[in-house]
Structure 1
Amino acid sequence: MDRREALQRVAILMGGTIIGASLFLEGCERPASKDTSKLFERKSIDFLGDLAETILPRTNTPGAKEAGVGSVIPVLVRDCYTPEEQQVFLRGIANIDNLAEKEFGDQFQKLDKKDQTAFVNKLDKEAQDYVAKKSADEPPHFFTMFKQLTLLTFFSSKLGATEVFRYVKIPGKYDGNFPYHKGDHAWAT
């Protein structure tokens, strides 16, 4: 399987299209943007990791932060998004602490886990409402982009593919009638 096919499968897994999908499938051959340089600072990587961990927390499987999602997202934003999408993403991420303080009285990373989850659920609802109302020429909601990047990065990481999905290093023949039991992990291969 080549990278294009793998990304298409991840897109299907995530429920449809990925914002900037054409760039993902073309190999992200875009000149690097200097606007995203702040995302590569340690503080930003930790922040992105904590935000992603709220979407995919550690349970009996690894979480997004453990999979290194916070350090991969800046690369994808820089290399795979259009300048307009980058600006939407950067403005949204920069505004998270202001929104968290307004809603919950403190910066996102200082909130307890329950409030972080409630805040992320509020952002997700806002993004869904935005998508339902936006026209085709409007930019995507920053949280939609963030959530898609979190899922793509996590499930294509080694931890996501081997510890969350069932993984067979050398797969055998296809068996469309293979027994599936409630609670089984999906297959990564």
Structure 2
Amino acid sequence: MNNHFDHARRNFITGMLVVSGLTVLPAKVWAVAEKQPSSNPDNLFLSTLCDLVIPQTDTPGAVDVKVPEFVEVAVKHGLSGAPVDALSRFEFALLSDVPGFNTLSYQQQIEALTPIDNGSFSRNPAEKPQGDLALWKAIKALIVTGYYTSQAGSSEELRYVLIPGKFDADVPADASTRAFSSDWTGVKFG
């Protein structure tokens, strides 16, 4: 892809994130994360979570684009309101709630994480996860933010059109239609 458009895309996304109130920009987090070793053995649990949230399909998954490294750096800087020890606290809580989580099959891990995920994003306070399991909402937000602000996430998973064109209320869409990476107006961060 043309470097001018890559630069314009990052500037646009960064600008939208500044407007939305993030204090640490994903572009700065990526600058640090890209320097970290990609085979950090300490982030096996985090890599599993990233793979569960955004697995590899016809486009690279979260692990492929180094989202675990992004999340580690983002947590250290308090992005999405996550405490510095959010990852270790969540891991301990999840392994206490679901013993042997790391040894479960991919499908079993999805099934174990689904009620926590549903509760984290529920409007019903009775469904919210308790204790450190409530950290899932911030961790998942960082995984998604990291992926869609990465080079592959913003250019391969999403379509990028610097100026998407005129308004057309009747756009044909099917399962293969990708969202625009240049449309961050409806995203709420934080």
TM-score by length of 2: 0.66
Aligned partner of 1:156 in structure 2 is: 149
Aligned partner of 2:107 in structure 1 is: 114
Does residue 1:5 correspond to 2:3, yes or no? no
Q: CA offset at residue 119 of structure 1?
A: 1.3
- Structure 2 segments unaligned to the other structure (5+ residues): 1-10, 30-37, 183-190
Kindly report the root-mean-square deviation, in angstroms, between the aligned alpha carbons of the 2 structures: 3.7
Instruction: Name the CA shift for 1:62/1:22 in 2 (closer, same or farther; >3 Å).
Output: closer
SS at match of 1:145: helix
How far apart are the structure 1 equivalents of 2:26 and 2:149?
Answer: 17
- Trace 1:1-189 onto structure 2 (pairs within 5 A): 1-2=11-12, 4-7=14-17, 22-24=22-24, 42-81=40-79, 85-101=83-99, 106=100, 108-128=101-121, 132=125, 141-168=134-161, 171-172=162-163, 174-177=165-168, 179-183=171-175, 184-189=177-182
Kindly indicate whether the alpha-carbon contact (under 8 Å) linking 2:75 and 2:86 is maintained by their aligned counterparts in 1: no
Instruction: Name the CA shift for 1:123/1:63 in 2 (closer, same or farther; >3 Å).
Output: same
More RCO (CA 8 Å, sep 6+): 2
Relative to its length, the structure with more helix (as a share) is 1
SS at match of 2:23: helix
Q: CA offset at residue 116 of structure 1?
A: 0.8
Q: CA offset at residue 28 of structure 1?
A: 7.9
Instruction: Report the number of matched residues.
Output: 159
SS at match of 1:85: coil
TM-score by length of 1: 0.66
Q: CA offset at residue 4 of structure 1?
A: 4.4
How far apart are the structure 1 equivalents of 2:155 and 2:164?
Answer: 19
How far apart are the structure 1 equivalents of 2:81 and 2:61?
Answer: 30
